[in-house]
Structure 1
Amino acid sequence: MTRSLSGGPWRQSVLPERAGTLRVATYNIHKGVRGLGPGRRLEIHNLGAGVAALDADLVFLQEVRLFHHGDARRFDHTWFGWPEQGQAEFLAPEGYEAAYRTNAVTRDGEHGNALLSRWPVGDVEHADVSDHRFEQRGLLHVRVRWQGTELHAIVAHFGLIHASRVRQAQRLGQYVNERIPAGAPVIVAGDFNDWGERLDPLFGQAGLARSCAPEGSVRAMRTFPSRMPLFSLDRVYTRGLRCRTVTVPRGPAWVRMSDHLPLLVELEPA
């Protein structure tokens, strides 16, 4: 059942309003489904309430279904049912624009990255950064008009093998240098699967700085696994912007919806 946004576990997720700032969330939604076998359950409707409660200007989403015939058949006759729209459009709060591109094609469907934006969206591009045939990975690049400035938002989901992640970080840096004008503000956010905290120097070479809590504590940004967060896999990197706050919403509702917790950061011009 969809949970109310009026209080309880949702209330803690909303960052305070501040003029001249940009609120950004990144969230791996696990394709909107949790559990195994007969216990699999549809969480996409709860995720819609959760995304709205984050109240972020930009929401960077990973593992977003465009469609999946098997899950649609399984959940079509449940109380709320499988959405007719792709998950990006379904999750977009009223007044937001949704941009989506497919990373992976499977037997029953497709999934990829998405950006939900409260601000006007321009050109949308996709770059394939797959490192081997067993993992299909991509970058979603969206131009966003924010307070009279063209901001470049890139949604990323890196591979499970460290050597692949290194090459993907290098390709991302090359993409930023080749496709984005020097001096333009950039946000790169997503699930980087960087268990060993080893990618930051590679992003630094591309002029991208990791958004950290004021005290610089990685511990405060742990997002995986959602039930007992031990790793900071979900991150935001920026160029031309400065981080003011970092928040990781916690509580039973967030634990239920995905194996990741969302990460929220509040940014301002550098």
Structure 2
Amino acid sequence: MKTPSLRIATYNLQKCVGMDLRRNPRRSLEVLEDTGALICVLQEADKRLPPRPAALPHDMVTAEKWQILQFGAPGGSIGWHGNAMLMRPGTIHVVETDQIDLPGFEPRGAIRADLDTPIGPLRVIGVHLGLVPRSRRQQCAALRRMLERLPPRPTIIAGDFNEWGSGADLNAELAPLRFLPCPPSYPAIRPIAALDRFWISADLSAGPVRPHLAQPARIASDHLPVTVELTAQQR
């Protein structure tokens, strides 16, 4: 019997503005479809200035059969601090969602969704960490403290970590979660930096992290989406 698996993608949409300087949310949705992911963790999913209208319009998202997870009051944004999460309805069910305030020099936040999935219970945290190294360390420490307060649940943290180096400092702050080796995903046309990353808990197994290279991904944003296949650790 084949072990159930779940594909997750993380993707910085750059507000759906591509390398050709055109805002094209339909093109961004095409990229998400092509990843084959059941859960997509997004960054820069809305515009920066209040009231932060969605760069990826609600009606266009739902027309493509995605469910938008709710992380705040219904309105213009589809997420929180630009972080959003989409999933394919049917085999995944939402247990709880929450917003997470993060410390640091810039205003930053994260999102959390506790889900029931084909591989069992799963906690998915979406992040877009700060540009300042000290802020990134503080933000990872804040995420670790939050997880220590919550009931245990298999966990993946996904997003744009803005980390150009090895990530060793962040790894230390996020322990006991472990960093998955991730390929370069930025800039999309010729990737040299692994900014888009995953951390997972010990009760999960993961296949190799893969960049999604097929067009229009190389032009739809300045980041490539990256995907990973998760399975639950056999007891």
Q: Which aligned pairs between 1:175-194 and structure 2 lie closer than 5 A? A: 175-179=146-150, 181-182=151-152, 184-194=153-163
**Offset from partner CA, 1:18-56 (integer Å, 9 cap, x none):** 750010100000011236xxx741121101111111111
Unpaired runs of at least 5, structure 1: 1-17, 73-82, 103-109, 213-217
1:99 equivalenced with 2:61 (yes/no): no
Pick one of 36, 53, 59 that aligns with 1:55: 36
SS of the residue corresponding to residue 160 of structure 1 reads coil
Tell me which amino acid in the other structure corresponds to 1:228: R
SS of the residue corresponding to residue 207 of structure 2 reads strand
- What is the aligned partner in structure 1 of residue 138 from structure 2? 167
Mapped partners of 2:48, 2:137: distance in 1? 30
Structure with bigger strand share is 1
Contact 2:46 2:52 in 1 (8 A): no
Tell me which amino acid in the other structure corresponds to 2:83: N
SS of the residue corresponding to residue 45 of structure 2 reads strand
Root mean square deviation of aligned Cα: 2.8
Tell me which amino acid in the other structure corresponds to 1:141: R
TM-score (norm 1): 0.72
Tell me which amino acid in the other structure corresponds to 1:125: D
Number of residues of Structure 1 aligned to a counterpart in Structure 2? 219
% identity of equivalent residues:
28
Change (3 A) 1:249 1:143: same
Mapped partners of 1:194, 1:229: distance in 2? 14
Report the Cα offset of residue 92 of structure 1.
Answer: 5.3
1:25 equivalenced with 2:25 (yes/no): no
SS of the residue corresponding to residue 230 of structure 1 reads coil
Unpaired runs of at least 5, structure 2: 73-79
Contact 1:25 1:60 in 2 (8 A): yes
Mapped partners of 2:142, 2:231: distance in 1? 27
Structure with bigger helix share is 1
Pick one of 34, 49, 66 that aligns with 2:18: 34
Any runs of at least 4 consecutive aligned residues in structure 1 with deviations exceeding 3 A, and if so which?
66-72, 85-96
- What is the aligned partner in structure 1 of residue 225 from structure 2? 262
Tell me which amino acid in the other structure corresponds to 2:29: G
Report the Cα offset of residue 94 of structure 1.
Answer: 4.3
